[in-house]
Amino acid sequence: MLSYRHAFHAGNHADVLKHYLLTRLLAHLNQKDKPYWYIDTHAGAGCYQLDQGYAAKNAEYAGGIGRLWQRQDLPAGLADYVAQVKALNPDGQPRLYPGSPLVALEHLRADDKLRLFELHPTDFPLLEANLAGAGRQAKLVKGDGFAGLKALLPPPPRRALTLIDPPYEQKDDYARVVASLEDALKRFATGVYAVWYPLLQRAESRQLPRELKQLPAKSWLHASLTVHRPRDDGFGMHGSGLFILNPPWLLHDELATTLPWLRDALALDAGASFVLEQQAA
């Protein structure tokens, strides 16, 4: 099945959490001069139009990046993320939203590399077009990112951030996330791995963080954000989470301030909440 199109959801509350945290992880890697690789197993189209096409149908961005657009009290790390999105929109209106590949490209230095996978036959050409400016710094593969990850680890510079962000439209995506990370940690135990997942009323979604905590990583950080109480009919996504293996040790303290702020800024009802937990090395 390849029915999922992220364009419908671009810039929503889940993208805010995911891409804010991605900017913080990249900023941490940039603190050292040694180059690194950014690996994205499910890269999507790379950039999305908010004012027309798929994203405009449900306008999910209005409840995500749209709520942060005019705020003057953004916490520092969150302000950096919003500034990057605004840089794509010089007329001051939210018309374009960067996917994770463009978020990463903005942070990469001359010797850092992008390795991007996308299987969808429509999104891959869009990804190629949106990453055309990256030149030799980026290698794009039309294929399965779960399978492709194995061949990249360990990366030559022995530093890497891997984002695993499948659509979860098939139940076995959850099992493949865990299996991929088990294999990745054997090949490259010191890499930074970030897994995005949806908060849904289904067993696989609730179980995934528990399974990730059992992986043999020295440290982990788990952050999730709920923007409304689950629907009575059991359908729909009420929030999302990011589970990070081998995170920077100061990230927890930053999130202790930012997550309560985000909960209040993006809340749709009294069911809004967040989770922040970690296992330190």
- Active site residues per annotation: 165
How many other C-beta atoms are found inside a 10 Å radius of the C-beta of residue 135? 7
Q: What phi and psi, each to the nearest 5 degrees, are found at residue 127?
A: -60, -45
The CA distance from 255 to 240, in Å, is: 15
* Residue closest to 268 by CA, chosen among 69, 94, 66: 66
Contacting residues for 215 by C-beta, under 8 A, at least 6 apart? 178, 181, 182, 185, 245
The CA distance from 167 to 163, in Å, is: 13
Measured CA to CA in angstroms, residue 169 lies from 102, 199, 230 at distances of 24, 13, 19
Contacting residues for 268 by C-beta, under 8 A, at least 6 apart? 63, 227, 228
Residue with tokens 């995170």: 247
